[in-house]
Amino acid sequence: MYETVLEIEKMMIKADETINAELEVFWKYSEPQLLHYYEPEPGIFIAESPNVIERALAAGFVPEKVLMEERFADGRYDSLLAGLSDIPVYTAGPSYFSGAAGFTQEKLSLTRGMLCVMRRRPLSAPEDILRKASRIAVLEDIVNPTNVGAIFRSAAALGMDVVILTHDCSDPLYRRAARVSMGTVFQIPWTILGAGEWPADGLQLLKEQGFCTAAMALSEDSVSIDDPAFQRQEKLAVILGTESEGLRQETIEASDYTVKIPMHHGVDSLNVAAASAVAFWQLGRK
């Protein structure tokens, strides 16, 4: 652990062209490549912003290296840096940093001047994290990382115990998803089902674990989200579908309920992230 500001300053390394190989992980690899970086072991991800990094550290994720915009190396993040044991901290000017962050200089504020490479951990088995849960969210094929991140933030804030993602969802640890979630992807248990495990195997698992399933979709037999029947359910799984097509028909048919949010002014649906917040607030009640 760093013990003084002087020790932190000594650990900082000025980024330049001579150490590009050390920092290329920040810009050279796609998200799927980072996911498989240490294959067959779990890969790495890049946490953006001090808030996200702090929550990842609090959740026990292991950091490998930090890249900071040099104007932020003024002491404001010393308490965070003090919690990063014996890893290199690189500082860079705005042009170099913007290339690594993948943002224009005008949008660098999204990162708050700090990026951190972190090791992934093995995914939990679904049955392990479902065992003590009573309200869960299931995301079916939601591919937009912004939506995934926003759903996690709502899930954490509005009382969901667990998030289950199908194999084709965007990964919650992708940069944008974790940042949009405000780091809540590190605070709420989640896992990803294997290829081909949804819907049949996944829904069967939910049934075995005692969950009533509520598919968010418009159909002739949809039940209003404020139906009192939902509050009587001891265990409830709220299932949300992809941005364009919604839920698969086989998912809808196999669920216990099809649920809709009452709309006005001729609007027939909400963005999936907005719908998730409404659903978690209403269906999370017991």
Q: What structural domains does the chain harbor?
A: 5-119 (3.30.1330.30), 126-283 (3.40.1280.10)
pLDDT of residue 243: 77
Q: What is the mean pLDDT of residues 223-247?
A: 91
pLDDT of residue 134: 97
Output Rg (C-alpha) for the chain, integer angstroms: 21
CA distance 94 to 114: 11
Residues present in the chain in total? 286
CA distance 106 to 94: 10
Evaluate if residue 7 carries a pLDDT over 80.
no
Q: What is the mean pLDDT of residues 180-200?
A: 97
Confidence class for position 109, pLDDT limits 50, 70, 90: low
pTM for this one? 0.89
Specify burial of residue 221 (Cβ count, 10 A radius: 0-12, 13-18, 19+).
exposed
pLDDT of residue 101: 63
pLDDT of residue 281: 95
pLDDT of residue 189: 97
What is the tens place of the pLDDT at every residue in 88-99? 888 888 777 776
**Residue 180: what are its φ and ψ, rounded to 5°?**
-65, -30
Evaluate if residue 44 carries a pLDDT over 90.
yes
Do 279 and 259 contact (CB within 8 A), yes or no?
yes
Q: What is the mean pLDDT of the chain?
A: 88
Greater confidence (89 vs 12) lies with 89
CA distance 90 to 107: 20
Greater confidence (246 vs 235) lies with 235
Greater confidence (61 vs 28) lies with 61
Evaluate if residue 10 carries a pLDDT over 70.
no
Q: Strand, helix or coil at 204?
A: helix
